[in-house]
Amino acid sequence: MSISPKLALLEEYALVARALSAPARLMLLEQLAQGERGVEALAEKTGLTIANCSQHLQQLRRAALVTSRRDGKAVIYRLTDAKTLELMDLLRIVAERNLAQVERILRGLSGGYDAPEPVSRAVLAARLAEGSVTVLDVRPSDEYAAGHIPGARNATLAQLEQILPTLAHDAEIVAYCRGPYCVYAHQAVATLRRHGLNARRLEGGLPEWREDGRPVLIDVG
Amino acid sequence: MSISPKLALLEEYALVARALSAPARLMLLEQLAQGERGVEALAEKTGLTIANCSQHLQQLRRAALVTSRRDGKAVIYRLTDAKTLELMDLLRIVAERNLAQVERILRGLSGGYDAPEPVSRAVLAARLAEGSVTVLDVRPSDEYAAGHIPGARNATLAQLEQILPTLAHDAEIVAYCRGPYCVYAHQAVATLRRHGLNARRLEGGLPEWREDGRPVLIDVG
DNA sequence: AGATCATTCAAGCGATGTCTTGAATAATAG
DNA sequence: CTATTATTCAAGACATCGCTTGAATGATCT
């Protein structure tokens, strides 16, 4: 077993932290927060090679942050439970609260604009009910199809400039993406505000929205 | 600055996780959860060399988990804020929820006994008020002196066997130590139960007790 | 059973992290 | 100013991690 039980315990805790200590694995967790995925899909989304992706996933599994099941010849991974999401969120909160570096990066993303406060999920739900807001889903279209906020319109960053004329200039626009780790919504809001639109970001992303128990619309293939 | 802002952000989050990924640094954080400390005191408590300890502390500072101030020729470190404690706790919860390995280690500590559920801090506070419980602080005496639960009696694991006869066999005994990362209380409960006493562990340790805003008694030198 | 596809394993390379040792810096005491 | 004490810096040895490449495993389909 080990020399000292105390050290052995700390080693186990450290193992979980170490699993979160590589950007590639954080990307994988962000993808898995959208829903369960196979290895190949994850590799494509994150830009990792298949073998490398598989190895990272196994490290995440060793730390019990994700679990896997077989489906035919594919192996499907998913977050073990909501605690994994909580841990990711707290990690982000601590990093953002304390590191000036993070603020500088986010400010750079906003193109120098002072980004407005994000809209809370509860507020967006209320505004949606009264139809006084335009919701924009800035994730890739396949992720939009796999589940989105009812009433949300889909447009990637690349498509954003094209659909600008079709967006209402009087109503407020709320953009969201994969979640707090994702920067699409930050960039979308920056672009929209540069064009004079009244845009804000949703707090969190689709995984957090779903975790709240709010409705998600799935396109049937 | 960087290739991609997205990667740069993830790198920052990973930095915080990496700071938590070494057992030595978890030990340091556990010590700092007791209160602020100088480098030498931390080195002695953790068994690290001074230089090594200093390097670990600087990594924790880079991740903004701890902050430091000068006091004369000494540099005093402390946890940045309660979020650091939260992050440590969540890390532990995820590790314990999911890793069978952790259970095995804890079971080993309990000497094979099935350890009873820990006592919550609220329950202990109520029992203390009515005097129906004996509280045992199993940390080293210097840490006891620096602050303990009012009414608690101090005894290290080594002293435990000696004071056994002086412990009431009818009342319940609640043992606590540095916190969830610390195994003293687990071991103390195992020892006491082996001798037929009705002992349980306090949920969390002194840092969590203090964080709840509950009273802490400090011995004046 | 043989062929095929998705995933995992295994080995190797460069980069990074940990710990040790010894010197350098910063603040106080004499 | 010099000596002292507490901490940090710097360099080296050694292990681990992350990524790549190519082969091995496991499950399905013909």
- Based on the domain organization, do A206 and A108 belong to the same domain? yes
Residue B173, domain member (yes or no): yes
Residue A185, domain member (yes or no): yes
- Residue numbers in A near B21 (CB within 8 A): 14-15, 17-18, 21
Residue A198, domain member (yes or no): yes
Residue-wise pLDDT tens digits, B186-201 = 999 999 998 989 999 9
- What predicted TM-score, i.e. pTM, was given to this entire model? 0.83
Of B6, B17, B64, Cβ closest to residue A17: B17
Q: Decide: helix, strand or coil at residue A55.
A: helix
B1, B12, B109: best to mutate for the A interface, most A CBs within 10 A: B12
pLDDT-derived band at B17, boundaries 50, 70, 90: very high
Residue B94, domain member (yes or no): no
Q: How many domains does chain A divide into?
A: 2
- Based on the domain organization, do B72 and B108 belong to the same domain? no
- Based on the domain organization, do B188 and B119 belong to the same domain? yes
Q: CA-to-CA distance for A24 and B11, rounded, in angstroms?
A: 9
pLDDT-derived band at B221, boundaries 50, 70, 90: low
Distance from CA of B81 to the nearest CA of A (A): 10
- Based on the domain organization, do B72 and B120 belong to the same domain? no
Residue B143, domain member (yes or no): yes
Q: Which of A48, A128, A174, A177 is catalytic?
A: A177
Protein-strand C interface by C-beta, 7 A:
A 38-40, 50-51, 54-55, 57-58, 68, 73-75; B 18, 21-22, 24-25, 48-49, 51-52, 55-56, 59, 70, 72-73
Check A18 against B18: CB less than 8 A apart.
yes
Check B90 against A93: CB less than 8 A apart.
no
Report whether pLDDT(B2) > 90.
no
> Interior CA angle at B170 toward B164 and B173, to 5°?
60
Domain encompassing residue A11: 5-83
- Based on the domain organization, do B200 and B122 belong to the same domain? yes
- Based on the domain organization, do A76 and A108 belong to the same domain? no
Mean pLDDT value of segment B208-220: 90
Predicted ipTM of the assembly: 0.83
- Based on the domain organization, do B76 and B115 belong to the same domain? no
Q: Which of A36, A54, A83 is the last residue of a domain?
A: A83
* Residue A138's CATH number: 3.40.250.10
Distance of CA B43 to the CA centre of its chain: 16
Residue-wise pLDDT tens digits, A100-159 = 677 777 777 777 777 788 999 999 999 999 988 999 999 999 899 989 999 999 999 999
Residue A150, domain member (yes or no): yes
- Based on the domain organization, do B109 and B150 belong to the same domain? yes
- Residue numbers in B near A11 (CB within 8 A): 23
Residue A117, domain member (yes or no): yes
- Determine the nucleotide nearest to B39 by Cα–C1' distance: D7
- Based on the domain organization, do B126 and B65 belong to the same domain? no
- Based on the domain organization, do A10 and A62 belong to the same domain? yes
Q: Which of B88, B177, B185, B190 is catalytic?
A: B177
Residue written as token pair 């969830």: B180
Cite the beta strand spans of chain A per DSSP E.
Answer: 37-38, 66-71, 74-79, 133-137, 153-154, 172-176, 199-201
Residue-wise pLDDT tens digits, A179-201 = 988 888 999 999 999 898 999 99
- Based on the domain organization, do A158 and A186 belong to the same domain? yes
A97 touches strand D (CB under 7 A): no
**Backbone phi and psi for residue A168, each to the nearest 5 degrees, phi listed first:** -65, 135
Cβ pair A81, A32 in contact under 8 A: no
Cβ pair A156, A140 in contact under 8 A: yes
Residue B71, domain member (yes or no): yes
Q: Decide: helix, strand or coil at residue A219.
A: coil
- Based on the domain organization, do B113 and B73 belong to the same domain? no
Three-state DSSP string of chain B: CCCCHHHHHHHHHHHHHHHCCCHHHHHHHHHHHHCCEEHHHHHHHHCCCHHHHHHHHHHHHHCCCEEEEEECCEEEEEECCHHHHHHHHHHHHHHHHHCHHHHHHHHHHCCCCCCCCCECHHHHHHHHHHCCEEEEECCCHHHHHCCECCCCEECCHHHHHHHHHHCCCCCEEEEECCCCCCCHHHHHHHHHHHCCCCEEEECCCHHHHHHCCCCCECCCC
Q: CA-to-CA distance for A203 and A180, rounded, in angstroms?
A: 8
**Distance set, CA B88 to CA A16, A84, A158, B211 (Å):** 11, 14, 40, 14
* Residue A22's CATH number: 1.10.10.10
Q: Which of A83, A114, A140 is the last residue of a domain?
A: A83
User: Which residue is nearest nucleotide C26, judged by alpha carbon to C1' distance?
Assistant: B73
User: Between B4 and B37, whose confidence is greater?
Assistant: B37
Q: Which of B52, B83, B114 is the last residue of a domain?
A: B83
The reply to whether B177 belongs to the active site is: yes
- Residue numbers in A near B101 (CB within 8 A): 12
Report whether pLDDT(B3) > 60.
no
Residue B97: predicted pLDDT? 78
Residue B1: predicted pLDDT? 40
Of A5, A18, A108, Cβ closest to residue B105: A5
Q: CA-to-CA distance for B199 and B190, rounded, in angstroms?
A: 8
Cβ pair B205, B185 in contact under 8 A: yes
